[in-house]
Structure 1
């Protein structure tokens, strides 16, 4: 199967048979098919049935109406998000309500489309983009978990050497919490005076030039005690 015909399974939770028919037609036009070439859609007309189907065979994406017989509004998104935390949800609703759209996205939906108001291929594009975004977000969560579990202290700064993030190992090593570190420069928090301004200037020249800097420093913890640290910065 070619890249132009993505292999994907879609769960539609929609109580109106006519709307489901329009959704099915849009998905067929978009060329979305399940692995093996069969139609990619499963249909549930209530949230309870949707949850049952989703837990039985995990879909790649959920198209969710917010006006179901057994659930309405943002609680519907929240329920599906709790059942499928790693599956993208696209809200399809008849309500052209910007506040509702914002609330749905805040609750975990990837996109919000108003029935009858999206152009020919908008639904197909939204499905493709939602799946790609979800994969990227999953990778980012994996990277974050790896950084958080690292035994070595890791600090991320901007080009002005201001801390924007630090992992738990940094806090264990220095006694400085993430909230205390963000917005400050490591030189201001950790400097013992044993490295002068010229030392740090040369270090940052190396880093900003795109090269890797490695060296040893004597740093200060929050409680005033000092420790030796071997650093690699890129």
Structure 2
């Protein structure tokens, strides 16, 4: 039989109630997060200070965090844990099924919120942990893509279907002289138009990208200070799951 290559999950539980800890351990096993023969994936800390130290030492995959601890209580607990472990997903455990508290916990950096009453449902805890891990991977990938787009030397803008700019990278603002706040919501062609290209030029560009094809060409643009510069430009349509065009990405 082929041996499983699944990596063992490490779960830091910061909880001062031994009874709740036992329930969490049981549900972790029932949810299939601990397999027969594996070490216990749960690391226990009964105070926030001990939890912060355990997070630094053990590098857990996920933190289950009680909001009422001997040395910390409420949303401050989430904020302190998030500052200590900025990349680890946090699932808040609390005895209060309070929507406002849940929203505040999410705004403070938690990825999920689980009333302790749901600990009696092993599938709820297992689902929350698995969802937190998946979201963390997606967020890490988005952060990487964002960092890459911000680091490249080419100017990049993302527009909506009407060509209104929704996002621009630092290189675009350096090339054109326009700050990000000045370009968001505006059409790049209107802001950078030098008058060197006629209406037929832009009509052909629009016909190409609205047909779902990539447009590539050269044009003369105008910076904020009025100076002109030559630009090689590529505009690509971005489609949704249904195949319809949602955005355009222009690389200068």
TM-score, normalised to structure 1, is: 0.94
Deviations 1:125-163 (A, max 9, x none): 110010110111011011111111111111111121110
Alignment-derived partner of residue 154 in structure 1:
156
1:136 paired residue among 132, 135, 138: 138
Mapped to 2, the partners of 1:197 and 1:7 lie a distance apart of 61
Deviations 1:18-72 (A, max 9, x none): 11111111111111138x8222100100001101111011000000000000001
**Secondary structure in 2 matching 1:121:** helix
Mapped to 1, the partners of 2:31 and 2:154 lie a distance apart of 47
The Cα of 1:13 is off from its aligned counterpart by 0.2
Alignment-derived partner of residue 183 in structure 1:
185
Given that 2:118 and 2:124 are in contact with CA atoms closer than 8 Å, whether structure 1 keeps it comes out as no
The Cα of 1:210 is off from its aligned counterpart by 2.5
Given that 1:26 and 1:123 are in contact with CA atoms closer than 8 Å, whether structure 2 keeps it comes out as yes
Alignment-derived partner of residue 55 in structure 2:
54
Alignment-derived partner of residue 174 in structure 1:
176
**Secondary structure in 2 matching 1:85:** coil
Mapped to 2, the partners of 1:90 and 1:2 lie a distance apart of 27
**Secondary structure in 1 matching 2:21:** helix
User: Which 4+ runs in 1 deviate beyond 6 A?
Assistant: none
**Secondary structure in 1 matching 2:129:** helix
* Residue range with higher mean Cα deviation, 88-97 or 6-15: 6-15
**Secondary structure in 2 matching 1:116:** helix
The Cα of 1:2 is off from its aligned counterpart by 4.9
Given that 1:6 and 1:33 are in contact with CA atoms closer than 8 Å, whether structure 2 keeps it comes out as no
Contiguous gaps of at least 5 residues in structure 2: 237-252
Given that 1:78 and 1:108 are in contact with CA atoms closer than 8 Å, whether structure 2 keeps it comes out as yes
Mapped to 2, the partners of 1:120 and 1:114 lie a distance apart of 13
The Cα of 1:95 is off from its aligned counterpart by 1.2
The number of aligned residues is 232
> Structure 2 matches for 1:75-114, cutoff 5 A?
75-114=76-115
Mapped to 1, the partners of 2:201 and 2:23 lie a distance apart of 66
Contiguous gaps of at least 5 residues in structure 1: none
Deviations 1:162-190 (A, max 9, x none): 10000001111111111111111111111
Alignment-derived partner of residue 244 in structure 2:
none
TM-score, normalised to structure 2, is: 0.88
Mapped to 2, the partners of 1:162 and 1:135 lie a distance apart of 30
Mapped to 2, the partners of 1:135 and 1:85 lie a distance apart of 14
Given that 2:194 and 2:221 are in contact with CA atoms closer than 8 Å, whether structure 1 keeps it comes out as yes
* RMSD of aligned Cα (Å): 1.6
The Cα of 1:209 is off from its aligned counterpart by 2.4
